[in-house]
């Protein structure tokens, strides 16, 4: 049955104006909301750079679950979002993010409880909870069924990845938002050399600010500059490369969630943050290395636990992926 024109339908507004990994960890909750509010005009407030990726969260028939609207993390929402019947805070525990949504005066607010907002009664926030399960629990305790295992997104609408040699390649992603979550460069050099010795194409990915790091690793490992994609991909390019790759090695950062969402085997290096909070689902194609201790994820130097991971351990996990796919 065809939906009524957008202007005649009630509006659902969801706030998740954070980073790449944050968006992908919220995919199960977003899927659940799309199913529960199927007749609604559905809006997702996300950073503009992630809007193309948000469109890959699709219903069974191929239609995007949400129409993205550009939003800064805690900034005022654009006019398209200012008339919302139901608002859902998938952004944080409040009260600042609650205030962003309360400003649109929704008839119903779905959000965690916060002591600074007496007028709202929501589920209790739990500090040590996996990010995907956290937002599904918010919905479940608000009467909306949600399955935290539904992490998949559609493959990007690209005829082939850019560059074509990404098919079957080993991707190395040495960057992360903070130094505490960046494994030292010599480890990446050693892993790159080991993968090349196996006859595999090695590509390095990252953002514009990580291009210098990636070029230095490539130079030390004997990899040509053309194999350094860092700073040369938008979010859909990156998704296309990850989808085509044979495997990914990365720090605890957004691209790890992209591998999970697209089904690409991965080895993820954790340091100050436990994989129990941000790790992949417990399936064989995603391997986790963690020294078992936590620290400051925003620190200005590599976390000691992350530094303790050796290149030999990473290579062992890569071989485990190879055995699994044989």
Q: Per-residue pLDDT tens for 289-305?
A: 999 999 999 999 999 99
Task: Give the chain's domains with CATH numbers.
Answer: 6-140 (3.40.50.2000), 164-325 (3.40.50.2000)
Region 136-148 average pLDDT: 97
Tokens of 79: 């006019």
Lowest average pLDDT, out of 111-120, 131-140, 198-207, goes to 111-120
Please determine, for residue 1, whether its predicted confidence score (pLDDT) is greater than 50. Answer: no
Looking at the chain, list the stretches that DSSP marks H as alpha helix, in order from N- to C-terminal side: 20-25, 27-36, 51-54, 96-102, 131-140, 185-197, 211-221, 235-244, 254-262, 275-278, 304-307, 311-325
From the list 260, 306, 308, the residue with the least C-alpha distance to 284 is: 260
Please determine, for residue 160, whether its predicted confidence score (pLDDT) is greater than 70. Answer: no
Tokens of 144: 């909306």
- pLDDT tens digits along 195-206: 999 999 999 999
What is the per-residue pLDDT for 16?
Answer: 96
State what percent of residues in the chain have pLDDT above 70.
94
Region 142-147 average pLDDT: 96
- pLDDT tens digits along 166-185: 999 999 999 999 999 999 99
Residue 207 in contact with residue 238, Cβ under 8 Å?
no
- pLDDT tens digits along 37-86: 999 999 999 999 999 999 999 998 889 999 999 999 888 887 766 788 99
Neighbours of 157 (CB within 10 A): 10
Alpha carbons 233 and 3: distance in angstroms, whole number = 36
Look up the pTM and report it: 0.92
By three-state DSSP, how is residue 41 classified?
A: strand
Scored b (16 or more CB within 10 A) or e, 197-212 reads eeebbbbbbbbeebbe
């Amino acid at each position: 049955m065809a939906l009524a024109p957008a202007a005649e339908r009630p509006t659902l507004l969801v706030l998740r104006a954070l980073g790449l990994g944050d968006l992908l960890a919220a995919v199960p909750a977003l899927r659940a909301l799309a199913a529960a509010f199927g007749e609604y005009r559905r809006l997702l407030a996300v950073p503009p750079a992630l809007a193309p990726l948000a469109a890959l969260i699709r219903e069974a028939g191929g239609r995007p679950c949400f129409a993205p609207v550009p939003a800064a993390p805690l900034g005022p929402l654009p006019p398209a979002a200012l008339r919302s019947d139901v608002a859902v805070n998938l952004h944080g525990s409040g009260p600042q993010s609650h205030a962003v949504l309360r400003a649109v005066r929704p008839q119903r607010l779905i959000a965690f409880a916060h002591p600074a907002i007496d007028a709202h009664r929501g589920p209790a926030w739990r500090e040590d909870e996996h990010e995907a399960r956290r937002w599904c629990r918010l919905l479940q305790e608000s009467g909306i069924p949600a399955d935290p295992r539904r992490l998949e997104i559609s493959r990007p609408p690209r005829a082939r990845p850019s560059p074509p040699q990404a098919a079957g390649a080993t991707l190395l992603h040495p960057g992360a938002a903070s130094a505490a979550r960046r494994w030292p460069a010599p480890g990446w050099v050693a892993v790159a050399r080991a993968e090349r010795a196996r006859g595999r194409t090695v590509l390095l990915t990252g953002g514009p600010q990580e291009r210098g790091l990636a070029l230095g690793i490539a130079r030390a490992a004997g990899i040509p500059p053309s194999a350094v994609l860092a700073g040369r991909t938008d979010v859909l390019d990156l998704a296309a490369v990850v989808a085509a790759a044979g495997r990914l090695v990365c720090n605890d950062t957004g691209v790890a969630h992209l591998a999970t969402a697209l089904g690409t085997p991965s080895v993820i290096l954790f340091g100050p943050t436990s994989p129990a909070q941000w790790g992949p689902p417990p399936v064989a194609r995603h391997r986790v290395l963690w020294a078992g201790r936590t620290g400051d994820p925003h620190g200005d130097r590599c976390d000691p636990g992350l530094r303790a991971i050796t290149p030999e351990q990473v290579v062992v996990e890569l071989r485990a992926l190879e055995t699994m796919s044989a």
